[in-house]
Structure 1
Protein backbone atom coordinates (compact mmCIF):
# COMPACT_ATOMS: atom_id res chain seq x y z
CA UNK A 1 0.00 0.00 0.00
CA UNK A 2 1.31 3.37 -0.92
CA UNK A 3 1.05 6.30 1.40
CA UNK A 4 -1.27 8.88 -0.01
CA UNK A 5 -1.84 12.37 1.24
CA UNK A 6 -5.30 13.80 1.22
CA UNK A 7 -5.74 17.36 0.14
CA UNK A 8 -8.81 19.41 0.78
CA UNK A 9 -10.70 20.49 -2.29
CA UNK A 10 -12.57 23.22 -0.48
CA UNK A 11 -10.96 26.60 -0.26
CA UNK A 12 -11.08 28.34 3.06
CA UNK A 13 -11.78 32.02 3.18
CA UNK A 14 -9.37 34.10 5.19
CA UNK A 15 -10.80 34.97 8.56
CA UNK A 16 -11.77 38.60 8.90
CA UNK A 17 -11.48 40.18 12.33
CA UNK A 18 -14.68 41.24 14.00
CA UNK A 19 -15.58 44.87 14.33
CA UNK A 20 -14.82 46.75 17.52
CA UNK A 21 -17.50 44.85 19.45
CA UNK A 22 -14.87 42.69 21.13
CA UNK A 23 -14.20 43.84 24.73
CA UNK A 24 -10.82 45.20 25.65
CA UNK A 25 -8.35 42.60 26.94
CA UNK A 26 -8.00 42.12 30.68
CA UNK A 27 -5.07 43.97 32.24
CA UNK A 28 -2.10 41.90 33.26
CA UNK A 29 -1.33 41.37 36.94
CA UNK A 30 1.13 44.29 37.07
CA UNK A 31 -1.54 46.85 36.18
CA UNK A 32 -4.37 45.06 37.95
CA UNK A 33 -4.13 46.98 41.24
CA UNK A 34 -4.30 50.35 39.45
CA UNK A 35 -7.52 49.39 37.69
CA UNK A 36 -9.33 47.94 40.71
CA UNK A 37 -10.59 51.29 42.03
CA UNK A 38 -11.89 52.29 38.61
CA UNK A 39 -13.64 48.93 38.18
CA UNK A 40 -15.23 49.24 41.62
CA UNK A 41 -16.52 52.72 40.78
CA UNK A 42 -17.91 51.48 37.47
CA UNK A 43 -19.73 48.60 39.17
CA UNK A 44 -21.07 50.87 41.89
CA UNK A 45 -22.40 53.28 39.26
CA UNK A 46 -24.19 50.48 37.42
CA UNK A 47 -25.72 49.17 40.67
CA UNK A 48 -24.48 45.63 40.22
CA UNK A 49 -24.08 44.85 43.93
CA UNK A 50 -26.52 42.66 45.84
CA UNK A 51 -26.96 42.32 49.59
CA UNK A 52 -25.75 39.10 51.20
CA UNK A 53 -25.32 38.09 54.83
CA UNK A 54 -21.87 37.46 56.29
CA UNK A 55 -21.67 36.54 59.98
CA UNK A 56 -24.98 38.28 60.68
CA UNK A 57 -24.07 41.47 58.79
CA UNK A 58 -25.46 42.40 55.38
CA UNK A 59 -22.75 43.44 52.93
CA UNK A 60 -22.96 44.53 49.31
CA UNK A 61 -21.20 42.18 46.88
CA UNK A 62 -21.03 41.75 43.13
CA UNK A 63 -22.96 38.57 42.25
CA UNK A 64 -20.77 35.66 41.07
CA UNK A 65 -22.13 35.76 37.51
CA UNK A 66 -20.55 39.20 37.05
CA UNK A 67 -17.09 38.22 38.33
CA UNK A 68 -14.18 38.56 35.92
CA UNK A 69 -12.02 35.50 35.37
CA UNK A 70 -9.03 37.37 36.77
CA UNK A 71 -10.97 37.87 40.02
CA UNK A 72 -11.86 34.16 40.11
CA UNK A 73 -8.16 33.29 39.71
CA UNK A 74 -7.40 35.30 42.86
CA UNK A 75 -9.94 33.25 44.77
CA UNK A 76 -8.60 29.97 43.33
CA UNK A 77 -5.08 30.96 44.38
CA UNK A 78 -6.27 31.43 47.96
CA UNK A 79 -5.98 35.22 47.87
CA UNK A 80 -9.38 35.61 49.51
CA UNK A 81 -8.79 39.06 51.01
CA UNK A 82 -7.57 40.45 47.67
CA UNK A 83 -10.57 38.88 45.96
CA UNK A 84 -12.98 40.20 48.61
CA UNK A 85 -11.59 43.71 48.24
CA UNK A 86 -12.68 43.64 44.59
CA UNK A 87 -16.12 42.03 44.87
CA UNK A 88 -17.32 43.58 48.15
CA UNK A 89 -18.54 47.16 47.97
CA UNK A 90 -15.73 49.54 49.07
CA UNK A 91 -17.87 50.98 51.88
CA UNK A 92 -18.47 47.47 53.28
CA UNK A 93 -14.94 46.08 52.98
CA UNK A 94 -13.85 47.31 56.43
CA UNK A 95 -16.79 45.42 57.96
CA UNK A 96 -15.58 42.28 56.14
CA UNK A 97 -12.08 42.75 57.61
CA UNK A 98 -13.46 43.22 61.13
CA UNK A 99 -15.65 40.10 60.83
CA UNK A 100 -12.67 37.96 59.73
CA UNK A 101 -14.90 35.13 58.43
CA UNK A 102 -13.96 31.48 58.17
CA UNK A 103 -13.78 29.82 54.75
CA UNK A 104 -17.14 28.19 55.40
CA UNK A 105 -18.76 31.51 56.34
CA UNK A 106 -17.29 33.18 53.26
CA UNK A 107 -18.57 30.33 51.07
CA UNK A 108 -22.07 30.77 52.51
CA UNK A 109 -21.79 34.51 51.86
CA UNK A 110 -20.93 33.90 48.19
CA UNK A 111 -23.75 31.34 47.86
CA UNK A 112 -26.17 33.89 49.34
CA UNK A 113 -24.94 36.51 46.86
CA UNK A 114 -25.48 34.08 43.99
CA UNK A 115 -29.00 33.29 45.18
CA UNK A 116 -29.92 36.95 45.57
CA UNK A 117 -28.40 37.69 42.18
CA UNK A 118 -30.68 35.07 40.63
CA UNK A 119 -27.98 32.47 40.07
CA UNK A 120 -27.29 28.99 41.34
CA UNK A 121 -23.90 27.74 42.46
CA UNK A 122 -25.11 24.16 42.80
CA UNK A 123 -22.74 21.27 42.51
CA UNK A 124 -21.93 19.89 39.10
CA UNK A 125 -23.75 16.68 38.30
CA UNK A 126 -20.67 15.29 36.61
CA UNK A 127 -20.53 13.71 33.19
CA UNK A 128 -23.73 12.28 31.76
CA UNK A 129 -24.04 8.55 31.27
CA UNK A 130 -23.85 7.21 27.78
CA UNK A 131 -27.19 6.88 25.99
CA UNK A 132 -25.95 3.66 24.35
CA UNK A 133 -26.76 0.42 26.01
CA UNK A 134 -23.91 -1.95 26.46
CA UNK A 135 -24.29 -5.65 25.95
CA UNK A 136 -23.77 -7.71 29.05
CA UNK A 137 -21.42 -10.62 28.72
Structure 2
Protein backbone atom coordinates (compact mmCIF):
# COMPACT_ATOMS: atom_id res chain seq x y z
CA UNK A 1 0.00 0.00 0.00
CA UNK A 2 1.57 3.14 -1.18
CA UNK A 3 0.97 6.27 0.77
CA UNK A 4 0.65 9.56 -0.90
CA UNK A 5 2.75 12.33 0.45
CA UNK A 6 0.78 14.71 2.61
CA UNK A 7 0.92 18.37 1.94
CA UNK A 8 2.48 20.30 4.75
CA UNK A 9 1.97 23.94 5.40
CA UNK A 10 5.40 24.73 4.00
CA UNK A 11 4.81 22.83 0.78
CA UNK A 12 1.42 24.43 0.19
CA UNK A 13 2.84 27.95 0.07
CA UNK A 14 3.36 29.66 -3.18
CA UNK A 15 6.92 30.56 -4.03
CA UNK A 16 7.73 34.20 -3.36
CA UNK A 17 8.39 36.36 -6.32
CA UNK A 18 10.68 39.37 -6.37
CA UNK A 19 7.76 41.80 -6.47
CA UNK A 20 6.10 40.22 -3.45
CA UNK A 21 9.33 40.32 -1.47
CA UNK A 22 9.75 43.99 -2.32
CA UNK A 23 6.23 44.85 -1.15
CA UNK A 24 6.86 43.48 2.32
CA UNK A 25 9.63 45.05 4.33
CA UNK A 26 12.10 42.67 5.81
CA UNK A 27 11.73 42.19 9.51
CA UNK A 28 14.73 43.25 11.52
CA UNK A 29 15.71 42.16 14.91
CA UNK A 30 15.16 44.98 17.38
CA UNK A 31 18.19 45.74 19.44
CA UNK A 32 17.48 46.01 23.14
CA UNK A 33 17.50 49.55 24.47
CA UNK A 34 20.03 50.16 27.16
CA UNK A 35 18.35 50.96 30.43
CA UNK A 36 19.73 53.68 32.61
CA UNK A 37 18.86 54.83 36.06
CA UNK A 38 16.97 58.08 36.04
CA UNK A 39 17.20 60.17 39.15
CA UNK A 40 14.10 59.94 41.31
CA UNK A 41 12.77 63.42 40.54
CA UNK A 42 9.09 64.22 40.34
CA UNK A 43 7.74 66.52 37.66
CA UNK A 44 7.08 69.22 40.25
CA UNK A 45 10.65 69.00 41.54
CA UNK A 46 11.97 69.27 38.00
CA UNK A 47 9.90 72.41 37.39
CA UNK A 48 11.02 73.89 40.68
CA UNK A 49 14.66 73.12 39.89
CA UNK A 50 14.26 74.80 36.52
CA UNK A 51 12.68 77.85 38.16
CA UNK A 52 15.32 78.02 40.88
CA UNK A 53 18.07 78.15 38.30
CA UNK A 54 16.46 81.07 36.48
CA UNK A 55 16.64 84.19 38.59
CA UNK A 56 15.71 87.72 37.66
CA UNK A 57 17.60 90.73 38.97
CA UNK A 58 15.78 93.50 40.80
CA UNK A 59 16.89 96.44 42.90
CA UNK A 60 16.47 96.53 46.68
CA UNK A 61 17.69 99.68 48.44
CA UNK A 62 20.23 100.41 45.71
CA UNK A 63 21.57 96.82 45.60
CA UNK A 64 20.85 94.47 42.70
CA UNK A 65 19.72 91.08 44.00
CA UNK A 66 18.72 87.91 42.17
CA UNK A 67 15.37 86.35 42.97
CA UNK A 68 13.20 83.59 41.55
CA UNK A 69 10.48 85.15 39.35
CA UNK A 70 7.21 85.52 41.28
CA UNK A 71 5.33 83.33 38.80
CA UNK A 72 7.52 80.38 39.82
CA UNK A 73 6.94 80.74 43.57
CA UNK A 74 5.36 77.79 45.34
CA UNK A 75 2.08 78.36 47.18
CA UNK A 76 3.79 77.61 50.49
CA UNK A 77 6.23 80.45 49.76
CA UNK A 78 3.29 82.80 49.21
CA UNK A 79 1.87 81.76 52.57
CA UNK A 80 5.17 82.67 54.26
CA UNK A 81 5.13 86.05 52.55
CA UNK A 82 1.49 86.70 53.47
CA UNK A 83 2.17 85.67 57.08
CA UNK A 84 4.97 88.25 57.28
CA UNK A 85 7.74 85.66 57.58
CA UNK A 86 10.01 87.59 55.23
CA UNK A 87 13.31 86.05 56.33
CA UNK A 88 12.08 82.48 55.80
CA UNK A 89 10.58 83.56 52.50
CA UNK A 90 13.84 85.23 51.43
CA UNK A 91 15.82 82.05 52.14
CA UNK A 92 13.65 80.25 49.56
CA UNK A 93 13.46 82.81 46.75
CA UNK A 94 16.76 84.73 46.82
CA UNK A 95 19.85 83.46 45.06
CA UNK A 96 22.08 81.89 47.76
CA UNK A 97 24.93 84.30 46.94
CA UNK A 98 22.63 87.32 47.50
CA UNK A 99 21.00 86.17 50.73
CA UNK A 100 23.60 87.75 53.04
CA UNK A 101 23.20 91.06 51.22
CA UNK A 102 19.44 90.91 51.84
CA UNK A 103 19.98 90.32 55.57
CA UNK A 104 22.52 93.17 55.73
CA UNK A 105 20.11 95.58 54.02
CA UNK A 106 17.22 94.74 56.41
CA UNK A 107 14.60 96.44 54.22
CA UNK A 108 11.33 97.95 55.36
CA UNK A 109 8.05 96.36 54.28
CA UNK A 110 7.47 99.00 51.60
CA UNK A 111 11.03 98.62 50.26
CA UNK A 112 10.58 94.86 50.10
CA UNK A 113 7.20 95.27 48.39
CA UNK A 114 8.77 97.58 45.80
CA UNK A 115 11.53 95.00 45.26
CA UNK A 116 9.01 92.19 44.64
CA UNK A 117 7.06 94.43 42.25
CA UNK A 118 10.30 95.23 40.40
CA UNK A 119 11.16 91.52 40.20
CA UNK A 120 7.72 90.79 38.76
CA UNK A 121 8.12 93.48 36.10
CA UNK A 122 11.62 92.18 35.24
CA UNK A 123 10.15 88.73 34.58
CA UNK A 124 7.22 90.17 32.60
CA UNK A 125 4.63 89.08 35.16
CA UNK A 126 1.99 91.01 37.03
CA UNK A 127 1.38 90.69 40.74
CA UNK A 128 -2.13 92.09 40.45
CA UNK A 129 -4.86 90.48 42.45
CA UNK A 130 -6.90 87.74 40.90
CA UNK A 131 -10.25 88.97 39.67
CA UNK A 132 -11.95 85.84 40.87
CA UNK A 133 -14.97 84.35 39.15
CA UNK A 134 -17.08 86.67 37.06
CA UNK A 135 -20.65 87.24 38.16
CA UNK A 136 -23.34 85.46 36.22
CA UNK A 137 -24.38 87.16 33.02
CA UNK A 138 -27.95 85.88 33.48
CA UNK A 139 -30.32 87.98 35.46
CA UNK A 140 -32.18 86.41 38.28
CA UNK A 141 -35.95 86.45 38.12
CA UNK A 142 -37.83 88.55 40.62
CA UNK A 143 -40.77 87.07 42.44
Q: TM-score, normalised by structure 2?
A: 0.58
The C-alpha deviation readout for 1:85-120, integer Å capped at 9, x for no partner, is 111111111111111111111111111111111211
Q: Distance in 2 between matches of 1:87 and 1:73?
A: 13
Q: Which aligned pairs between 1:53-72 and structure 2 lie closer than 5 A?
A: 53-72=59-78
Q: Distance in 2 between matches of 1:95 and 1:110?
A: 16
Q: Which aligned pairs between 1:1-137 and structure 2 lie closer than 5 A?
A: 23=43, 42=49, 47-134=53-140
Kept after mapping to 2: 8 A contact 1:51/1:116: yes
Where does structure 1 lack aligned partners over 5 or more consecutive residues? 1-19, 26-38
Which protein has greater RCO, CA pairs closer than 8 Å, 6+ apart? Answer: 1
Kept after mapping to 2: 8 A contact 1:61/1:89: yes
Q: Distance in 1 between matches of 2:73 and 2:130?
A: 19
CA shift for structure 1 position 57:
1.4
The C-alpha deviation readout for 1:11-65, integer Å capped at 9, x for no partner, is xxxxxxxxx996368xxxxxxxxxxxxx8xx569x74100011112111000111
Q: TM-score, normalised by structure 1?
A: 0.60
Q: Distance in 2 between matches of 1:129 and 1:108?
A: 32
Q: Distance in 2 between matches of 1:57 and 1:114?
A: 17
Q: Distance in 2 between matches of 1:24 and 1:115?
A: 25
Q: What is the aligned residue count?
A: 102
CA change 1:131–1:120 in 2 (3 A) is same
Kept after mapping to 2: 8 A contact 1:49/1:62: yes
CA shift for structure 1 position 81:
0.4
